[in-house]
Amino acid sequence: MRQNHWVGPDMRLLSVILFIVEFVRGAVLVSLLPIYGARSLGLSPDVIGLAISAHYITDTLLKIAIGYLLDRFSPRLIVQISLAIALVGVYALQFADLPWMFIGAAAIYGIGMSPIWIVCLTRVSEEHRATQMGFLYTIWLFGLGSGPIICNILLDYSSDLTYNLLVLMSVAALLLSFFMRKSKVSSMHHIPIKAQIHALRDKLVSMKQLLPGMILQTTGASMLIPILPGFATHELGLSGAQYSILLTVGGLCAVGGLIPMGKLSDRLGGNRWFLVVGFLAFAFGLYVLAWGLSFWYCLVIAVGLGLSYSAILPTWNALLATYVPPKQEGVGWGLLSTFEGVGVMIGPILGGVIALWGGETAVFWTSAILFGLIGLYYSTLKKIGVRN
């Protein structure tokens, strides 16, 4: 019997859980926290940015520990515990009527987000890296993009309905985790800890060319999160429906391009020009978007941003996969995710502060500059990445 050779049943179940988790995360971070924080609580952009950063700080700081645990304990158990914590964080948002509670609930929610992505990454095979990365990022983007779109629409009718939907979806993700296959504990615990540290240290030395891109791209992207709804309303003059259309079109273009781009990258051996062109095109799109053009121009820009993102992600993460030591997938991906998370931790705070001082448009200028610098930097390198 012929089976799909690049995605198995275990990854399919994980992808469903990933979709639900990212749907809720996107709705909470992109819509619920900024809109609820600004409209209902009257919080300033820097406080909202701090709450979003608190989410990513707890998410990021736990990634190395989670990777270490995933190599020693059942991924099923770790995912179940983490999703239960995430459910607590989402549930606590209804009581977050003070800034410190608002920030605290977001931080608790971040704790529950660490494992599921790393578990998915440890299932990626060597021979289909970019293709499977494209598949995972299709699920990730579809969930992350559809969450705020649907949340924006529902918030216009009922905040209680929106919130209850997110809680129920969090419960659904937790219940689905009980159907995960009980995989055996990795044999990595037979490797002495000194040998693990030395292997990871060698990888870190060899990946020094990637560090600027790892940190700057997540900084540039995450600094937009706190100000996106306000920018769409104040600077672009878009209605809620038009904003949702832009998110939908950009997301669909990104999702639609991920798997084809991943397959093409696999065939071309992970060509670095996917990264260079993708980063430069993304920078240009942000630069033009900051001009405050009409809706139809913004729609074209959204298409370009989505396609450029689809060119970047599969190749970039397939490249990162080459730096994960064999038999240390959990710790390796945890470490790489932590470095990427540095940018996500500081980005929302930076975006909120820049918006407070220089306006929301200034945040887009800054993000465009960061992505442009990344593209120019990698265009100067002759070779990036090594195969394990």
Give the tens place of pLDDT for each residue, 368-379. 999 999 888 888
**With pLDDT > 70 as the criterion, what percentage of the chain qualifies?**
79
Give the tens place of pLDDT for each residue, 231-273. 888 788 887 778 878 888 887 888 788 778 777 766 765 567 7
1 confidence band (pLDDT: 50, 70, 90): very low
- Residue 170 predicted with pLDDT over 90: yes
Q: Which pTM value belongs to this model?
A: 0.67
- Residue 347 predicted with pLDDT over 60: yes
Q: Name the nearest CA neighbour of 247 among 171, 153, 327.
A: 153
Residue 189 confidence (pLDDT): 45
The residues, ordered by sequence, that sit 6+ positions from 65 with a Cβ below 8 Å of its Cβ are 334
Residue 75 confidence (pLDDT): 82
Top pLDDT among 307 and 135 is at 307
Top pLDDT among 11 and 20 is at 20
Q: If DSSP states are collapsed to H, E and C, what string results for 79-139? A: HHHHHHHHHHHHHHHHHCCCHHHHHHHHHHHHHCCHHHHHHHHHCCCCCCHHHHHHHHHHH
| Nearest-10 crossing angle of helices 329-358, 193-206 | 50
- Residue 187 predicted with pLDDT over 50: no
Q: Does residue 337 contact residue 63 with C-beta atoms inside 8 Å?
A: yes
190 confidence band (pLDDT: 50, 70, 90): very low
129 confidence band (pLDDT: 50, 70, 90): low
Q: How high is the mean pLDDT of the chain?
A: 78
Q: State mean pLDDT over 120-139.
A: 71
Give the tens place of pLDDT for each residue, 29-74. 888 887 777 777 777 777 788 888 888 888 877 776 776 777 677 8
Top pLDDT among 129 and 213 is at 213
Q: What is the DSSP string of 296-332?
A: HHHHHHHHHHHHHHHHHHHHHHHHHHTTSPTT-HHHH
Q: Name the nearest CA neighbour of 365 among 376, 350, 380, 377.
A: 350
